[in-house]
Amino acid sequence: MIIRRRLRAGVCVLLATLAAWLGTALPAAADEPTGTPSPKVELVLDVSGSMRARDIDGQSRMAAAKRAFNDVLDAVPEEVQLGIRTLGADYPGDDRKTGCKDTKQLYPVGPLDRTEAKTAVATLAPTGWTPIGPALLGAADDLEGGEGTRRIVLITDGEDTCGPLDPCEVARDIAARGVHLVIDTLGLVPDAKIRQQLTCIAEATGGTYTAITHTDELSGRVKQLVDRAAEPVVTPVAAEGADRCSAAPVLKAGLYTDREKFGEHRWYRVDVLPGQELRASVSVAADRAVNNDYGVLLRALTVHGREIVRGSEAGTGRTDVISSGLRYPKAGQDGTDDEEPTPEAVCLQVGNSFSAPASVKTSPGLPVELTIDVVDAPDEAGDVAAFGLGRGWWLLGVLVLTGLVAGLLAGWISRWRVAVWRTN
């Protein structure tokens, strides 16, 4: 009986302790932030005079855009901070200088009040010019700050009317900031010149261009792009390569972006411990017109003179992105376990052989994306693994030995059968 009483008392004390712990721990956990940065999206809407045209499902382009915006605002994920910017919404006059400044933020980027945002969109009427370049610059400023993904969705029916500020060059300058801001473009008019400009804007930042001819297509595509912003992605870190290894930035495992001039070589460094393997890959995007016959080179070089070179070329065809990669395993360190492992500095050189026609601007440079990973090396890490055989050499040896034994056994059985036949 005494034992049972003590057991009951112990169980009660344990349950009371758990209840008290849960009562204090659970509210605290609920109040803690998730730590996931909120994605940001800004919808940039063309409100120029040409949006009066009635060629989308029997209604004006402006009416189709408003209907699509209402559908999109109803479906925006809670975690997305959304804003709206207009271009050509206020100035109806003929003064080019004034008309090309006509862009403003209609609804600030932040937590969405759907009723307020819809009310703001409902007041819009087709008015003025088409300053796409200034609108993109304004949208990029609206999305500054924070660590989440950033996306601009441009909806327009016309070509920029505010040159010489080329919106494609503006998009390249935005991409060169290294903040990984993506611009998607939607064209409401199937015009070849407009398509070319909007495609160039999108490709400069890794975005997409979509031609729109129906209201439902516009609603569906904008919803898709807003939802895509909420999807978890790895945000690249801006890195600036050097002209020599000794001055190169030291990179850890991760995804990095840089800009490289035509025909330039840039250096980066990675520390690799004994028993680890460096895996690196690089992609260079042709975000503008370039001459044929170009390539990318990735080279790993150590202080001990070991060198691994990998490259890829486009030949005479057109490839928007060209990539290459390599693996560098570092053998384990000899000595006792008490010794501190000494890392080896591996210099990574990224080079390209791009050239451009005389009419194409070469600045900013071409976008470069560099992926670095450092993992545990295979047990047989060494020169053999570095040049492609890896851990498969033993399998080759087993196959050779198996073939040899099988051949000897087959020959012995054949001789034995012949001997038996002759005896009989």
Q: Quick one: 65 and 143 in the same domain?
A: yes
pLDDT tens-digit series, residues 367-406:
888 999 998 876 554 444 444 434 444 555 666 677 667 7
Can you give the CATH number for the domain in which 176 is found? 3.40.50.410
- pLDDT at residue 231 tops 90: no
**Predicted pLDDT at 49:** 92
Q: Quick one: 183 and 331 in the same domain?
A: no
Please tell me whether residue 311 adopts helix, strand or coil conformation: strand
pLDDT tens-digit series, residues 241-282:
999 999 999 999 998 888 899 999 999 999 999 889 999 999
Look up residue 4 and give its two tokens: 């049972």
**Predicted pLDDT at 175:** 86
Distance CA(67)–CA(365), nearest Å, equals: 40
Mapping DSSP onto H, E and C, the string for 31-45 reads: HCCCCCCCCEEEEEE
pLDDT tens-digit series, residues 82-112:
999 999 999 999 898 999 999 999 999 999 9
**Mean pLDDT, rounded, for 109-124:** 94
Q: Quick one: 253 and 115 in the same domain?
A: no
Q: Quick one: 241 and 225 in the same domain?
A: no
**Predicted pLDDT at 388:** 41
Which residues, 6+ apart, have CB-to-CB distance to 43 below 8 Å? 69, 72, 82, 83, 84, 85, 153, 155, 222
Ramachandran assignment for 5, one of left (phi > 0), alpha (psi -120 to 50 degrees), beta (any other): alpha
- pLDDT at residue 222 tops 80: yes
Would you list the DSSP string of 381-397?
-SHHHHTT-GGGHHHHH
- pLDDT at residue 23 tops 60: no
Look up residue 28 and give its two tokens: 């605290």
Higher pLDDT, 4 or 407: 407
Q: Quick one: 202 and 279 in the same domain?
A: no
The last residue of one of the domains, among 230, 265, 291, is 230
Can you give the CATH number for the domain in which 271 is found? 2.60.120.380
Q: Quote the domain boundaries for residue 75.
A: 40-230
Look up residue 151 and give its two tokens: 């996306």
The fraction of the chain above a pLDDT of 90, given in percent, is 43
Distance CA(378)–CA(393), nearest Å, equals: 12
Is 290 within the bounds of a domain? yes
Is 401 within the bounds of a domain? no
Q: Quick one: 199 and 98 in the same domain?
A: yes
Is 367 within the bounds of a domain? yes
Name the one residue in this structure whose structure tokens are 């080279």.
Answer: 299
Q: Quick one: 216 and 362 in the same domain?
A: no
pTM: 0.63
The fraction of the chain above a pLDDT of 70, given in percent, is 78
**How much is the mean pLDDT over the chain?**
82
Residue 50, Cα to own-chain centre: how many angstroms? 35
| Number of domains comprising the chain | 2
